Amino acid sequence: MREKMSLDIAVIQMAVEPGTPAINMEKAVAMVREAAKNGSELIVLPELWYSGYALDQLAADAMPLSSHPGIQQMQRLAKEYGVFLAAGSVATKKQGSYYNTAVFIDNAGRITGQYDKIHLFPLGLHEDQYFAPGKDFCLVDTPWGRVGMILCYDIRFPALCQNLVLRGAEMLIIPAQFGAARIQHWNILAQARAIENQCFVLACDVTGDKDSGYCGSSLVVSPWGEVLVHGDDQETILYGKLDFSQIEKVRRTIPVFEQRRPIFDEIIDKK
């Protein structure tokens, strides 16, 4: 049940240096502190902000979530400032496999949600050759309602997002390292996921220099599909205020969830 109708958010768009956790940690901590001091109640970090896509170093960088230094530090910050943290994702290890794991931390510093990335990007970085795919959803209850988390490439799979919304999510948080070559897709997909699900979308991408392959373009989208805030290609913190009364208005105006025909959502195996 929603206790609050408005939410001050911050989306951290940072450059991540692959294979340099100490540098990335220092930067992330400073930006989270700045966002918290500026009054943000929910702060979002990007995908693999701690180690980057140094997948050949997973043996050194991946560890159990309970002992991950990056997440432990974010738990301390969440408790210190009394903020909620969608702490991006980190490389984790469990039962002999590696996972790309998103984490949600509440304002008491407790991990209240975690999500192992289901759709692993097969091109370029060959993520699917290093990580095991996740098998479950991530839904977190907050004072502003239910939140769903996915990661990067997942944004191309509308059924995943719709399933989260059908289970009560009214905000989708999408940490990412989405490449500059396809950044137009990223922008369109973030708006599409918001429009079709009539929910807020917080899409947090990384940025970098001309050789990094990343160009930012983080964005926050309303349930009507309006871009509320949009980053350029510079390191920055994007701030915004979400009004959750918009969700009811949009869903009353175009009642897609009342009119959807679930029979047509079924996937039929025709083999």
CB atoms within 10 A of CB 11: 28
Q: Are 104 and 114 in contact (CB under 8 A)?
A: yes
Half-sphere exposure in the Cβ direction for 36 (13 Å, CA) = 20
Q: 5 — alpha (psi -120 to 50), left (phi > 0) or beta?
A: alpha
By annotation, the residues acting in catalysis are: 47, 117, 152
* Paired tokens of 108: 């008491």
